[in-house]
């Protein structure tokens, strides 16, 4: 009942497809599975849904194309292998979508692209235009140019960010396992499939454990993290076994397949979601208990009087982690002052800012419009 209710409101969906799903036992792209998935995408299109795909598989496809026995290790090797594989990957999607009268578009992104508000909004408009052309956007990280500093980390994370960029209503993650289990089903015979996760608790995160497969970079933990991020956007996630025939259609009909993660509440605004999850934080602002309470319970701005100390170097406008007494981050926001300025203002009254600095940008360190409790 709950699934069909949720699915009634879904118009635009992000489908994340992992390397494990797209490849066969030899590690090569599996044309039969890709054809099956594209059949599912076509069925969703026919029922009036818009589909944005986030696909891994560039490195796996490149490795198989080049006949490499091992996963590439150095960064230039990975980038070269991805460059080879990305074209193979797109070719495979084009071939599999064509019989359904559908066309694919390649969209390669880096964390830096989405971290710039302007480029983020550009990416949004481009995705809109592609969907208006009735094309299926196939997004991947731009592996050939990324270095660690601008990396999304993994495509599970990227897919959660794409739910925000594309203003999607559902995230469907296709993976190599039926869903979230209470333990590791490969080693624990008592492990059971969890059909519904109402909220992502520490227990849920624990049962997701570490990474699973040797091919993709993600594991169950990154999928749960993606579901949490999508949920912050008010977007539910369904995790399913991507190789199963008809599974995409079944999931969208509301059949009880895989694991459904409900979003925690209505979610924050899309801009706040971008601040919290797409931007890379560049420093930490430690605050006292009183300020913590005001931020958590009253949704107010962070004032200099609540700041205990600042760590890292950042300029005015940077994204910063806001941490409590225990050092744990509980909020994120855009700072109105640089790290150097904050270190001078810590514990002081807003009215003294101008006296201390000789100028002022305003009364607050982080304005509540730019602050998100995580």
> In what order do the strands lie in the sheet containing 259-261?
103-109, 135-141, 50-55, 12-17, 170-175, 237-241, 259-261, 196-197
Residue 15 touching ligand GLU (CB under 6 A) = no
Q: How far apart are CB 142 and ligand GLU at their closest, in Å?
A: 9
Is 82 within 8 Å of 58 (Cβ atoms)? yes
Buried b (16+ CB within 10 A) or exposed e, 249-275: bbbbebeebbbbbbbeeebbebebbbb
| Nearest alpha-carbon partner for 109 in 86, 135, 75, 78 | 86
Q: What DSSP assignment string belongs to 24-66?
A: -TTSSB-HHHHHHHHHHHHHHHHTT-EEEEEE--HHHHHHHHH
The first and second tokens of residue 229, run together, are 């991020």
Considering only 114-122, 137-145, 173-181, 249-257, which stretch makes contact with ligand GLU by CB under 6 A?
137-145
Considering only 57-65, 90-98, 130-138, 265-273, which stretch makes contact with ligand GLU by CB under 6 A?
57-65
Q: Which of residues 138-197 bind ligand GLU (CB under 6 A)?
A: 140-141, 143, 154-155
Among 216, 242, 258, 324, binds ligand GLU (CB under 6 A): 216
Q: What are the φ and ψ backbone dihedral angles of 330, each rounded to 5 degrees?
A: -130, -5
Using alpha carbons, list the distances in angstroms from residue 265 to 166, 167, 208, 236, 269: 20, 17, 22, 10, 12
Q: How far apart are CB 202 and ligand GLU at their closest, in Å?
A: 24
Q: How far apart are CB 238 and ligand GLU at their closest, in Å?
A: 19
Residue 217 touching ligand GLU (CB under 6 A) = yes
Q: How far apart are CB 55 and ligand GLU at their closest, in Å?
A: 7
Which residue lies nearer to ligand GLU by CB, 56 or 163?
A: 56
Count residues binding ligand GLU (CB under 6 A).
Answer: 16
Q: Which of residues 58-117 bind ligand GLU (CB under 6 A)?
A: 58-60, 82
Residue 219 touching ligand GLU (CB under 6 A) = no
How close are the terminal C-alpha atoms of the chain, in Å?
30
Residue 57 touching ligand GLU (CB under 6 A) = yes
Is 209 within 8 Å of 194 (Cβ atoms)? no
Considering only 40-48, 54-62, 95-103, 128-136, which stretch makes contact with ligand GLU by CB under 6 A?
54-62
Residue 27 touching ligand GLU (CB under 6 A) = no
| Nearest alpha-carbon partner for 238 in 252, 224, 259 | 259
Residue 212 touching ligand GLU (CB under 6 A) = no
Residue 218 touching ligand GLU (CB under 6 A) = yes
Considering only 51-59, 179-187, 295-303, 310-318, which stretch makes contact with ligand GLU by CB under 6 A?
51-59
Among 3, 13, 19, 219, binds ligand GLU (CB under 6 A): 19
Cα–Cα distance, 319 to 281 (Å, whole number): 5
**Footprint on this chain of ligand GLU (rule: CB under 6 A):** 18-19, 56-60, 82, 140-141, 143, 154-155, 216-218
């Amino acid at each position: 009942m709950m699934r069909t209710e949720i699915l009634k409101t879904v118009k635009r969906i992000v489908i994340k497809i992992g390397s494990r799903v797209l490849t066969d036992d030899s590690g090569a792209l599996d044309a039969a599975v890709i054809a099956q998935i594209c059949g599912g995408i076509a069925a969703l299109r026919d029922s009036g849904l818009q589909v944005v795909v986030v696909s891994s598989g560039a490195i796996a496809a490149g490795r198989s194309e080049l006949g490499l026995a091992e996963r590439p290790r150095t960064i230039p090797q990975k980038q070269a292998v991805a460059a080879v594989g990305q074209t193979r990957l797109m070719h495979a999607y084009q071939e599999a979508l064509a019989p359904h009268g559908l066309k694919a578009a390649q969209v390669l992104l880096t964390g830096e692209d989405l971290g710039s508000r302007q480029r983020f909004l550009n990416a949004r408009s481009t995705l809109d235009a592609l969907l208006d052309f009735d094309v299926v956007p196939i997004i991947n990280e731009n592996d050939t140019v990324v270095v660690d500093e601008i990396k999304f980390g993994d495509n599970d994370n990227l897919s959660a960010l794409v739910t925000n960029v594309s203003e999607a209503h559902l995230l469907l993650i296709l993976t190599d396992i039926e869903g979230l289990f209470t333990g590791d089903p490969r080693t624990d015979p008592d492990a059971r499939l969890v059909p519904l996760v109402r909220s992502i608790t520490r227990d849920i995160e624990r049962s997701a454990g570490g990474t699973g497969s040797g091919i993709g970079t993600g594991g169950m933990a990154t999928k749960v993290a993606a579901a949490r991020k999508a949920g912050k956007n008010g977007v539910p996630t369904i995790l399913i076994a991507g190789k199963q025939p008809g599974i995409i259609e079944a999931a969208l009909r509301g059949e009880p397949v895989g694991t459904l993660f409900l979003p925690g509440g209505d979610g924050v605004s899309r801009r706040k979601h971008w601040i919290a999850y797409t931007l890379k934080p560049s420093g930490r602002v430690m605050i006292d208990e009183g300020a913590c309470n005001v931020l958590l319970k009253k949704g107010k701005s962070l004032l200099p009087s609540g700041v205990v100390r600042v760590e890292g170097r950042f300029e005015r406008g940077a994204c910063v982690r806001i941490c409590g007494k225990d050092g744990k981050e509980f909020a994120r926001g855009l700072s109105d002052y640089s790290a150097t300025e904050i270190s001078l203002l810590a514990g002081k009254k807003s009215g003294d800012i101008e006296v201390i600095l000789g100028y002022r940008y305003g009364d607050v360190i982080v304005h509540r419009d730019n602050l998100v409790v995580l």
